[in-house]
Structure 1
Amino acid sequence: MIDAAGYPTIEKVVKEANQATWLIIQGSIGQPEFMKKCAKELEIAVNQNKADAKNLAYLLDRIAVLEDKPQLYGTQFDWNENGILSPNKFDNIIKVNQRRKSIGLNTLEQQTNIIRKRVQD
């Protein structure tokens, strides 16, 4: 479908179908080439203001983690060697927080505190 019609933006499909598509792509960790192809299509849609930049951030970070590369937005977390839920590696905290702010996300420090609190409750 993506090959034929491009990324299913909200204007092409309803909001729920757009979000469901993103969830499927985000969970396709066994198909990294598919994820990368979809990230390119999603980036085009984001640049045209037809898709959510937050979804692109999460997808790019998921791909980076799978490739053992630093995240750009710090959206992916895992348990560290001390058993503490922490962001997977990222490039630079100042740049990460600038990128996060530019798409409407809170700081990585704030998000880390939120996520850690959730797993404690």
Structure 2
Amino acid sequence: MKPLAKACGCSSTAVDIILFLGNNPAYTLARDIVEIRGIRANLVSMNLETMEKEGYVTIQTSARDRRQKEIHLTQKARPILEKGQALQSLFFDRIFAGIDPQDQETFVRVFKTIVDNLDKKNKKIQESGA
């Protein structure tokens, strides 16, 4: 996504945030980006501030919890989102070329289980202070 970021004149983290928000509309909080996407909180905060100033996102107090801020993409972010999604689609088309759709589904299911297992293990390590 670095070439897309360069072409759009924004950081690769900003592109990652735009894609995360566009691909996961149920997740609208900065905390979601940090926890799910794994981007450091300070980078998320700095990039969101810049993105808001440049008109790519709006940031509003959450109706559910006033301590939280909800982030929404603006129309200005739409071209970056669409180009990024096209690149993601092309990437997956290439890596899954020649693989039966049923085998693709099996791979994705197994990979998600592996990621979940790693997340659980990582959480246990963090909780133990090791």
Q: TM-score, normalised by structure 1?
A: 0.32
Q: Which has the higher helix share?
A: 2
What TM-score do you get using the length of structure 2 for normalisation?
Answer: 0.31
